Structure 1
């Protein structure tokens, strides 16, 4: 196929007159809906009312999105100070998962305290749901042709046995690129399988969520090294890799501390 004839997939899912519904928003919405369904279903099995998760998502999702956007904007100030009107336009892309994770976690802690519930129990239940949202969100990046990696050959992409519509979408600015969105999406899918399997062994309370943090951060650290659009902490240090290392270290310390002090004596399936 001649590269000059390759056209990117449309970013628009549905056009309603002057209103454009973008694939980016649709896929994030799908992630929220599927994740909520999973959490409600598991919550019922563990004796937690459906309304708990319905109310939680009303707070956590918008706050998480706002924090994800703030995080992204803060590390792209050169652009957004020149074009401040672009700041609220999240449909153009630019949501940092780490920012959303920080905002969502803080919201969950406050919400659990207000409701007199265990944060760790809620976090364990929603951990696979978070990965579902991240997995589908990366396909939104794919439709926007963002979050891609360095330059590769078409033959390399073909060696991955990818369909042409993915290979063609990776032709950006005159070159083919690593489909890092796909790498992270597949890593998230494998993580979902791991977390759902850990539920069956009645893991200690809190350790499912901590496993999610460690799992995601390991994948993100290595995949981030392939990307060309990383948010930078310094001229040589990628912010996502730095944060991933901190999350891995903090999660391991918290896991050990909770075991040593007996805070994790309760199990996932305990009432």
Structure 2
């Protein structure tokens, strides 16, 4: 793969950055269209996307620094050296969700309805983002003898000249499938929050399994689990708890309506 796709004078178009931009735009356009269909004030989608991207990058950076605390203690200059690289996806998800919650509270918007409406687009954006990982050679897989493998020759991240499991491709495919499943759930859901909870459950489960095939183990670990697997356990449980809470709230609301009828 080639991360430097195009050079125009002093400017370079990088594959990773381009696919991140494509993912953000795809999330915005699909999210706005879905908000219109669901009768939400869609004019807020643009601001939500912008703020959530900023909050997501901040969350991804902070979580990366947390996982690298030993490096920071040994060399405080590590913070400045890693300002433009080193991010943890789960930190981005958490940061983006918290930012959306704060925005909706400030603007007096229905957070749960926006949460459900936009989370499928987050999965879509992640699918494009993983294509960027493939172009850059990051988030690579373990060495393999399988015929279905990928070999990098000019990567600054993955080992070059070695057949690797194409985890970026698997991740991207799963994200696009995830997008389709969430759209189906959103159409069929009977209570607010169901689609958002499903996002947390499915993404956490998929990420937990994929981590077994990742080869960039320098990202850190917690016992026998990678850092991402460890976090996946909590986000998976959070998704289950949210689904139960939303379901219970829906039943309570129905009971009160029946009693007042």
- TM-score, structure 1 normalization: 0.83
Write the mapping of 1:87-166 to structure 2, written as runs, cut at 5 A: 87-90=82-85, 94-153=86-145, 155-157=146-148
For 1:16 and 1:74, locate their aligned partners in 2 and report how far apart those are by CA, in whole Å.
Answer: 37
For 1:264 and 1:105, locate their aligned partners in 2 and report how far apart those are by CA, in whole Å.
Answer: 26
Residue 212 of structure 2 corresponds to residue 221 of structure 1 = no
For 1:242 and 1:234, locate their aligned partners in 2 and report how far apart those are by CA, in whole Å.
Answer: 7
Matched residue of 1:14: which SS? strand
Matched residue of 2:147: which SS? helix
For 1:252 and 1:156, locate their aligned partners in 2 and report how far apart those are by CA, in whole Å.
Answer: 38
Matched residue of 2:213: which SS? coil
1:156 CA drift (Å): 2.6
In the alignment, which residue of structure 1 is the partner of 2:246? 258
CA distance change for structure 1 residues 263 and 110 in 2, over 3 Å: closer, same or farther?
Answer: farther
CA distance change for structure 1 residues 195 and 40 in 2, over 3 Å: closer, same or farther?
Answer: same
> Where has structure 1 moved over 4 Å in runs of 4 or more?
77-80, 82-85, 263-266
**Residue deviations 1:172-218 (CA, integer Å, cap 9, x gap):** 33311111111111111111111111222243210001101111111
CA contact (8 A) 2:60 2:91 kept: yes
Q: Which runs of 5+ in 2 are unaligned?
A: 255-261
Structure 2 residue aligned with 1:169, among 124, 149, 152? 152
Write the mapping of 1:5-84 to structure 2, written as runs, cut at 5 A: 9-77=1-69, 81=75, 83-84=78-79
For 1:64 and 1:264, locate their aligned partners in 2 and report how far apart those are by CA, in whole Å.
Answer: 34
1:44 CA drift (Å): 0.8
Structure 2 residue aligned with 1:179, among 166, 169, 184? 166
In the alignment, which residue of structure 2 is the partner of 1:211? 198
In the alignment, which residue of structure 2 is the partner of 1:196? 183
For 2:177 and 2:123, locate their aligned partners in 1 and report how far apart those are by CA, in whole Å.
Answer: 10
**Residue deviations 1:112-147 (CA, integer Å, cap 9, x gap):** 111112211001011111001111111111111111
CA contact (8 A) 2:151 2:161 kept: no
1:235 CA drift (Å): 5.0
CA contact (8 A) 1:69 1:99 kept: yes
For 2:81 and 2:51, locate their aligned partners in 1 and report how far apart those are by CA, in whole Å.
Answer: 24
For 1:121 and 1:256, locate their aligned partners in 2 and report how far apart those are by CA, in whole Å.
Answer: 17
CA contact (8 A) 1:259 1:265 kept: no
1:78 CA drift (Å): 5.5
CA contact (8 A) 2:20 2:132 kept: yes
1:70 CA drift (Å): 2.3
Tell me how large the CA RMSD over aligned residues is: 2.2
Task: Identify which range, 197-206 or 116-125, moves more after superposition.
Answer: 197-206
Structure 1 residue aligned with 2:222, among 234, 241, 246? 234
